[in-house]
Amino acid sequence: MSMIMPKYVVKPEEVLGGAPMERGTEDYRPVRDLKVIYPETIDPDPRSLIPGVVKVDPSHHTPLHRHRCEEVYYILGWGSRQKEGEKYPVKKG
Side chain identity, residue 71: E
pLDDT at 31: 83
pLDDT at 76: 82
pLDDT at 17: 67
CA distances from 73 to 4, 54, 56, 81 (A): 25, 10, 13, 10
Q: Tell me the pLDDT of the chain (93 aa) as tens digits.
A: 567 767 766 677 776 666 777 777 878 888 887 776 666 566 556 566 667 778 888 888 888 777 777 777 778 888 888 888 898 898 887
pLDDT at 4: 79
Nearest to 61 by CA among 39, 41, 77: 77
pLDDT at 22: 78
